[in-house]
Structure 1
């Protein structure tokens, strides 16, 4: 799969940001500087910067240019429609613990096609409301073949380019179809503790699975949201 020039520039900037060469609050090179450095048009350079902006990695600062964001943002589980930016519906988040290898819940294991006792790599995060209180608790589960080919998934450091692009670069596999299933149940002890609600409180659970072109799962996310925070709005033509 050929990499377009603006994608190459965006990947280069992501790598510098991830390595700490351009820390949060610092300005990235301007469109003119990038155009000169890479011998491309300003339109191509600006398109590369726009990719980073859409992914929530940089923000526009008046009189300065584009600066690296202080607070990473992520989307809740699900709603990963093609072309949607990571910042669309994105929220500040906190990573929970360290990525670890565990046996996933039965529902997740079945979705990933894993036999009993087989472990998957888990990454957990809490998405936050503007006042800092928890909005939802999300566990992302990666099947062994994806996790082993993508070693940075096991690191606590953020992946500036985003897990989807990183996994694509490592495995050559891209998400082609997403399936979201929403159900309602009582919060487990762990979920209640992470969300700051009483155990057995009603929660909405969104199970999001991304499949590649061959129909094989790349990741399964389980997002748990207290009933008080959950709202689903669908707008459609009639």
Structure 2
């Protein structure tokens, strides 16, 4: 299967075309790839990076599916990636599937054993998901650092940690801080996903910091007694 992947959820801007062998663990062979570390500016860079990656891969012909990270991650970054992927999918007439950022981070590390994918969520929290024997132990969650540390300890001494929140939870030697998921991992998950079960919708694990206004423009302020 030939897939185009897009990731703007965290500290990377990635666009790439991969040929993925059949099966969930299939090898993803890059045909064209652009990936840069950035925390801002995804909107200005993404289209050009995708254009160059697709041109390197020989064009849009043969692309079977588009995969895009849906979060958790930056609110603005997620919107950029999702809008781009859905617009391109509509233009090409191919399905677009959403891939969890945490799942893609976990798939970015080699080896076997318990895994914890952790993203720094600020305000003393991490976004987290945990796996044992390749099976997730529940859905993605927003946890306090203390709660995440306890979950990591419960997985045992051979646990692998990945993501920007790994260093907040432990100084474990196997912790891997990544700016974002490996595009190859995203490609494998995109090929393995069921489009009916993986819609390209943003995954938010915490309410937004912004609050709606208490009054409409021009409306007088409420009088306090």
* TM-score, normalised with respect to structure 1: 0.27
1 or 2 for the larger relative contact order (CA 8 Å, sep ≥6)?
2
